[in-house]
Each structure stands twice: as C-alpha cells, then as structure tokens.
Amino acid sequence: MTRYPNRKLGEFFRIGHGFAFKGEYFSKAGKYILLTPGNFSAGSGLILKGSKEKFYTGPFPPSFILKKGELIIALTDLTQSAPLLGAPAIVPENNRYLHNQRLGRVHGLDESGLDRHYLYYLLQHPQVRAQIKATATGATVRHTAPERIYTVECPVPSIGIQVRVASFLRSYDDLIENNTRRIAILEEMARALYREWFVEFRFPGHVEVTMKKSPLGLVPSSWRVQTTAETFEYVGGSTPSKDVQEYWEGGTIEWFTPTDLTRSKTMFTEASGTRISPIGLAKSSAKIFPALSVMMTSRATIGVTAINVTPACTNQGFITCIPSPRFPLYLLYHWMRHNVEYFISLGTGSTFKELTRSAFKSIPILVPPESLVSRFQAGLEPVGKQILALQRKNANLRTTRDLLLPKLISGELDISRLPELNPGS
C-alpha cells in the first residue's frame, strides 16, 4: 500500500526512441560513445568503461546527441528474464553520448509535477519495474514500447516530498560515487607502480643493473624467464549437472561464472551469483582454490580478472591462478591485467575464442628477484586492503539505499520525519 496518490507516468512526460546506428561505423576510438542496453547495470546506472564502450564515427541526426542530466530508460532486454527492462540512467557528460533505438529518452517532463531525480529513483522501485516488465513482449528478446510505459501507475507525492526523497537517496549515491573514484585512483596508482618497476624496469636501484637479451627482449640480468607452469599453479573449472537438484539446492560453495565478474567489474569479489553443494563439487571436475587467488575469464570474453576473498570454484570459462612465494598476489594480479591483449591474441576457436590451459601454461613470464617482489607486495598490500574496504562500504551503502528506496517512495517511511543525513557519518 502507498500513502501517496497513484498517477500514470504518461501524465508527466514522453519517451523518444534512439537512432538505428549502423554497425560499420563502430570503432575503437571516436568523439561519441553509443549507449545501448549493454551499458546498463541490472539495477540502474551506466557502465561506460572498457569493453562496454562503443565509439561511433558515422553520420547521424544531431538531435540524437545527449545532454548531461538527461534521463534514459532501457526499453529492450536481451534476455527472457529481462532484469534490465525499465532501468533508468542519467547521462553523465554533455555532448558525448548517443543512444540507439533500444533506449528511450525522456523529454517534455513536467517538472512541476514530477521531479527528474525522483523519477530516476521511482523507476528503480521494484513494483514499478515489475509493472514495466509486465508490459513487455517478445519470445526471446523482451522489449516494451513508450505507450505501454505511459500506463504504469506510480506513487507521486507533492513536489516538495519528491525533492526531499530524491535528495536523501542521492546522498547515498554520491558517497558510492566518491568511494568508486577513490578505488579507481588507488587501482591506477598500483598499475602505474607495476608498469614502472616491471615493464619499464625503473625499479629501485635500476641504474646499477645490467641488461641481457631474452625471449622477452632486453631484461635485467638477474631476472629469470620461465613459463607460467613453472611459476605458479592454476586450475580450471566445471559445471555440475543442472538436472540434479542436490548439486545446487542449499549450496554453500561459491561457484563463479564469467557473468559474475563482468557484472561486478571490481578488483575483489565477495560472492558468486550461484553456489553449489559439496556433492555437486565432488561429482564435477571443478576444483576449490584458496581465497586471494586470481580468477580470469578464458572464454568468449577473455581476460576479465578478479580476486576472490573466500575459497571458491568456477565453471569451465576460467583459468584461476594461485599466487606463489616467487609470484605473490599483487604481482600476479597486475601481470595478468597488463597482459590481457596478449591472452586474447592466444585465443582459438570458431564459435567463440578461448584461451586454453595448454596454451596458458607455456606463456613466458619474467620473474624478478625475491627482494624486489617482496617490496612490491608489501607496498601494495595496504592499497589492496583499502580498495576492499571501500568496496565493502559501497556494498553496504547500496544495500541500505535499496532497502530505503521503496519505503520512501511508497510513503511507508515518512521523509518529513527523517533528518538531513550524510550516510557516511
């Protein structure tokens, strides 16, 4: 039940489709980034970095250039379960983004009756999203139309309450964004140090070191070139039969799929989307590996990496590397991140590319002296701990925000009784 009156969304705005951009004009760089449903997270917001960026260099009507602060909505989901359908996002930058026909652009919003930021959170309300999902059609790809979204009914309080609700929820999102920026800075610092020491060879004392020829080019004379198989252990994964319920029901063992990593895009990962039971593990060729190993996707999308914080196993789409004393966690992690393009080049297969374990085991790797490795590991351990702590803070903030959001929008929790709040305090 809601204590606020229900109104139809179509009373307040219209939704315009994007342009049918031609695939031959996509490139690896350009002035404009084309937004698609693939840029949306399952809840809301945008994923704008890495493999999700699609630059567009061809012709298009100028009216399809998005402005900062505009609201766009996912009208199509590429899956039958449709977790993205109706997801909103706010355009983060002026004159940088375009959107295709699978996204809707909110225009003509009557902001005297419906605050833009309140609408953003309104579209994240589970019941509102369920209504939008119920309007969808399509046997394989689920999609909806603007005129069907117009019929969705939502709680719409006075504009003053809307503004306060949106402001309260934005305080959580602002802190999450600040933490995310801090994480990005810390990660870039760590990557820069790795490149400086182990790629450019400008490590402490490097001026006194002589160089030698090797299969990897000129390298410091005291460093060894050996294979990955000689440097650390690695394991693959497996999928227990989906037809046997006891392999899955009540599962207690973290079992990662590539989607877990591509969805979270974090350095550390706490939990998998699915768990298997001990008997499921025993009846498959999946192997448990220890906490603080480095998982890397090895099929289709090759090279997405994450560090598990608890013992876990994976499906067959991974190569998981276990740190060793000569190649400890942060050296291993950054070596893998640095060599993604090389791993991709080793992929084979006609249907989808795969980096096989047999190809991985013979990759040459440069092993620095123990003293330098220990110094690098000791320097990055506190950085890694800080990143993990910030990730956990963000997870707690998201959980709290997601619990408060439906209560505030329905009026179950009266915003007028809540003080202005800094969620980080």
Q: Which residues contact 19 (CB under 8 A, 6 or more apart)?
A: 60, 61, 64, 98, 99, 100, 101
Which of these, 324, 319, 405, lies nearest to 362 by C-alpha position? 319
Which pLDDT value is given to residue 111? 92
Cα gap 132→170, rounded to integer Å? 23
Angle between helices 329-338 and 370-410 (to 10 degrees): 80
Bridging pattern class, strands 312-314 and 253-256: parallel
Model pTM score:
0.88
Please name the residue that has the structure tokens 């320097």: 379
Tell me the C-alpha distance between 87 and 120, whole Å.
Answer: 9
pLDDT of 48: 66
CB atoms within 10 A of CB 373: 19
| 83, 259 contact by CB (below 8 A) | no
| pLDDT score for 52 | 67
Q: Look at residue 422 in the predicted model and tell me its pLDDT.
A: 58
Question: Are β-strands 103-107 and 71-74 bridged in parallel, bridged antiparallel, or unpaired?
Answer: antiparallel
State residue 414's pLDDT score: 86
pLDDT at 262: 83
What's the confidence (pLDDT) of residue 370? 96
Q: Which residue ranges of the chain lie beneath pLDDT 70?
A: 1-2, 42-52, 79-80, 419-425
Q: Which of 149, 169, 160, 155 is CA-nearest to residue 10?
A: 149
pLDDT, position 44:
59
Contacts of 201 (CB under 8 A, 6+ apart): 209, 211, 219, 220
pLDDT at 348: 93
Query: What local confidence, expressed as pLDDT, does residue 77 receive?
Result: 82
* C-alpha to C-alpha distance for 402 and 299, rounded to whole angstroms: 33
pLDDT of residue 47: 67
- For residue 12, the one-letter residue type is F
Cα–Cα dist 62/56, whole Å? 13
Instruction: Output the average pLDDT for the chain.
Output: 91
